[in-house]
Amino acid sequence: MSELNQFSLGDNIADLDAVNASVKRLSEKVQLITEAVKELHQNRTQLQGKIEDAQKRIQHILSRLPDQGDGRQLNLLNEVTPPNTPEDDSEPTTH
């Protein structure tokens, strides 16, 4: 009967070794996944910041657009241009 107990004990040790190896592999995979999730979170945060900056720039440009009824030329570069006067419109142009 002692031989039977030794055989069972040996099987149990082999089973425990297999379980320990599986736990170790799973732990390593969980660690890799955790690192990947952290990296994705950082990338997402960085992209959100870039999107917000782009939206602010677009809003700034849109705020500088003239009203639809305004016939003046659009100047988005902040260069000072004199407004058109009626006599400027009547001058002939040559091509």
**For residue 75, is it within any domain?**
no
What band does 6 get if pLDDT is binned at 50, 70 and 90? low
Amino acid identity at 78: N
Residues 12-61 have pLDDT tens digits of 888 899 999 999 999 999 999 999 999 999 999 999 999 999 999 999 99
- The answer to the question of residue 83 being in a domain is no
In a domain, 76, yes or no: no
Instruction: Let me know if residue 5 belongs to a domain.
Output: yes
Q: Where are the alpha helices (DSSP H) in the chain?
A: 2-63, 86-90
Query: With the CA atoms of 36, 37, 42 and 46 taken in that order, what torsion angle do they form, in degrees rounded to the nearest 10?
Result: 100
- pLDDT score of 87: 58
For residues 69 and 76, which has the higher predicted lDDT (pLDDT)? 69
Task: Convert 22-50 to b/e letters by CB count within 10 Å (16 or more is b).
Answer: eeeeeeeeeeeeeeeeeeeeeeeeeeeee
For the chain, how long is the longest CA-to-CA vector? 119
Establish if 82 belongs to a structural domain: no
- What is the structure's pLDDT at 1? 45
- Structural domain range at position 42: 1-63
Count of structural domains, the chain: 1
Q: What is the DSSP letter of 73?
A: P
In a domain, 39, yes or no: yes
Confidence of residue 64 (pLDDT cuts 50, 70, 90): confident
Tell whether 84 is covered by a domain: no
| Confidence category of residue 84, pLDDT binned at 50, 70, 90 | low
